[in-house]
């Protein structure tokens, strides 16, 4: 499948799982940060010191607008992956979104099983009750379920 089409399909799937446009934008910003880290790491592995120096110089100043930021991101990927920059960017981004979809589905499933009294789900949640990430997920999913219930 074309990586751009797959990207759009994955975004739609996230929206169907309850992500708002705002949350999806936040997720994509986080994904781009991780993708930039991966691209720079791949470039470091290639030991191309000249390319790394050029990128370091480019990244020393903060972009003044969104277009400049987008241009810098494209430059990073072009430097790291050459003519395969766009394809690699979408492949990495699509994998990030697939991983997010899996975690979201697993979390929702666990919460539903917990609400139904499944002892395994209750034990899993109780074991992580003090974990800050688990608390945020619980609050987010509970709010989504409550919002859906209120809409009926």
pLDDT of residue 28: 92
Q: How far apart are the first and last CA of the chain?
A: 37
The two structure tokens encoding residue 78: 């072009």
Do 94 and 14 meet the contact criterion of CB atoms below 8 Å apart? no
Write out residues in the chain with pLDDT < 70, as ranges: 138, 141, 144-152
Residue among 119, 113, 120 nearest 145 (CA): 113
pLDDT of residue 151: 46
pLDDT of residue 91: 94
pLDDT of residue 63: 80
pLDDT of residue 144: 63
pLDDT of residue 152: 41
User: What gap in Å lies between CA 127 and CA 99, rounded to an integer?
Assistant: 23
Note the pTM of the prediction, 2 decimals. 0.77
pLDDT of residue 80: 86
């Amino acid at each position: 499948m074309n990586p751009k089409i797959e990207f759009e399909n994955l975004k739609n799937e996230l929206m169907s799982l309850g992500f708002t446009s705002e949350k999806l934008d936040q997720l994509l910003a986080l994904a781009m940060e991780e993708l930039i880290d991966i691209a720079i790491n791949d470039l470091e592995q290639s030991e191309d010191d000249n390319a790394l120096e050029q990128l370091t110089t480019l990244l020393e100043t903060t972009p003044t607008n969104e277009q400049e930021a987008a241009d810098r991101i494209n430059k990073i990927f072009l430097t790291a992956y050459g003519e395969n920059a766009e394809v690699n960017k979408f492949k990495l981004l699509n994998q990030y979104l697939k991983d997010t979809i899996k975690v979201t589905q697993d979390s929702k499933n666990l919460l539903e099983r917990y609400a139904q009294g499944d002892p395994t789900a209750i034990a899993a949640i109780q074991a992580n009750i003090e974990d800050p990430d688990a608390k945020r997920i619980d609050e987010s999913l509970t709010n989504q379920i409550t919002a859906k219930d209120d809409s009926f």
